[in-house]
Structure 1
Amino acid sequence: MAIRISRVLQSSKQLLKSFSHSSNNADVPKGYLAVYVGERMQKKRFVVPLTYLSHPCFQKLLRKAEEEFGFDHPMGGLTIPCTEQIFIDLASRLRT
């Protein structure tokens, strides 16, 4: 079972990295949203499905972002204040 979970996490990381693009919003496919994840100055850009917005766990992250940044996101896009690993773990759970 640990091997299966490890494979799911690895495939989720690869999926998220494959959606990781330059900072130009023109490369976000229809039905997806670009978000910046990370703490302090080391943020990474991910492109996630819009369906994530309706999930309670993702909404909790959005509320945390609102508390920390309000509507002034320093990266010019939606910035989520959590570690990259937490975000990847959450995304892997939302994907299943």
Structure 2
Amino acid sequence: MGIRLPFMALQAKQIFKSTSTQQQSNVPKGHIAVYVGELQKKRFVVPISYLNHPTFLDLLSSVEEEFGYNHPMGGLTIPCKEDAFINLTSQLRAV
């Protein structure tokens, strides 16, 4: 019996396969790295379980529509304000 991830989560998983070995070693098992910010990007490590949350999936969907998933940093880049991302992940942590 396997775990089924939403389509967006599968796309994100493919993106993270392309990250360097050094970056991957800095990410604990069960987590992913994302780069957040409009101009200056800051790296955040978040639990993979966030990829199953509808609010986080909405954010990923809007990012894909506007910017796509091909980013030079090798990871998922979310071009939103850091404060908005921190607020969203704080709400997810509380659930």
Q: Name the TM-score, length of structure 2 as normaliser.
A: 0.70
Cα offset for 1:95?
A: 0.2
What residue number does 2:24 align with?
25
1:24 counterpart SS class = helix
User: Structure 1 CA distance, aligned partners of 2:84 and 2:57?
Assistant: 14
Match of 2:48 in 1: 50
Task: Give, in whole Å, the separation in 2 of the partners of 1:68 and 1:26.
Answer: 30
Give the aligned partner of residue 78 of structure 1. Answer: 76
RMSD between superposed Cα atoms in Å: 1.4
Contact 1:64 1:80 in 2 (8 A): no
- TM-score, scaled relative to structure 1: 0.70
1:48 aligned counterpart, secondary structure: strand
**Identity across aligned pairs (percent)?**
64
Structure 2: give runs of 5+ residues left out of the alignment: 1-21
Q: In structure 1, what is the equivalent of residue 5 of structure 2? A: none
After TM superposition, the structure 1 stretch with the greater mean CA deviation from structure 2, 27-36 or 60-69, is: 60-69
Q: Residue 34 of structure 1: SS of its match in structure 2?
A: strand
Corresponding pairs, count: 73
Per-residue CA distance 1:56-82 (angstroms, 9 max, x = gap): 110011012211332312321001121
Q: Partners of 2:38 and 2:66 in 1: how far apart?
A: 12
Aligned-pair distance for 1:26? 1.7
Runs of 5+ consecutive residues of structure 1 not aligned to the other structure: 1-22
Counterpart residue number, 1:60: 58
